[in-house]
Structure 1
């Protein structure tokens, strides 16, 4: 199955209204990052054990570990969670930045480090989320 097919199947497996919100969020992120690489991670490790929720990734960056190793990974990700949707904006050094810069204007969302969680798209301001995504992508494009 192609990555696009995996993403569509993942969204289709979500209950409404989460399904529609995730499809709309996917469209919004592709609007912000039109030529980005798409990723789909099923949440399983190499042995097939579930270690996280499945997630869709957008863009690419090189993550550098303390031991000197590097790994290619996405810049922005989305995942369904038990109460709604999580948006991950990876690669921002300051773990307080997202909450400080976008928290007041974002709406009903919980922001921790690099994760923005909300129940429904209607609970947040889309333009503020787009600005946070653009900031994160700019940080990892350096």
Structure 2
């Protein structure tokens, strides 16, 4: 099965309303970034043990480790969890950026250094979430401020 088929199978396996919310987010990312690299992680480790929730990834950035090694990973991740949905914005140098920029505007969500968690799309400001996703997909990983500036919360 290729990655789009694996993503579709995963989405189809989710109960409503998470399925509809994740499908809406997935479609929006694909519409806004049609040529982005897609990822799917089923949440299992190399021996098949479940170690995380399955997640869908978009885009690519390079993780550079202290030992000099590196690997590619996705920039944006979507994951259903027991409490709702998590959106991961990875590769930001400034771990306070998401909370400083989006916490006040996004509504009923928890915003950390790399994750925005919420119960349903209906309880958050979806425009603020999409602004965070857009920023994460377009920011230059070498400098958080090299990408397009996020829209101020007053414009969301």
> RMSD over aligned Cα, in angstroms?
1.2
Whether contact under 8 Å (2:75, 2:136) holds in the other structure is yes
Match of 2:109? 109
Q: Deviations over 1:69-125 (max 9, x none)?
A: 010110000000001100000001121110110111111100111000001011111
Structure 1 gaps of 5+ residues are: none
Structure 2 gaps of 5+ residues are: 143-156
Structure 1 Cα separation of the partners of residues 93 and 141 of structure 2 = 13
Q: Deviations over 1:14-57 (max 9, x none)?
A: 11111100100101112332210110001111111111111000
Whether contact under 8 Å (1:110, 1:116) holds in the other structure is yes
Give 1:1-142 correspondences, 5 Å limit.
1-140=1-140, 142=142
1:133: Cα distance to partner?
1.4
Whether contact under 8 Å (1:92, 1:114) holds in the other structure is yes
Moved over 4 A (4+): none
1:141: Cα distance to partner?
5.2
Whether contact under 8 Å (1:75, 1:140) holds in the other structure is no
Match of 2:146? none
3-state SS of 2:139 partner? helix
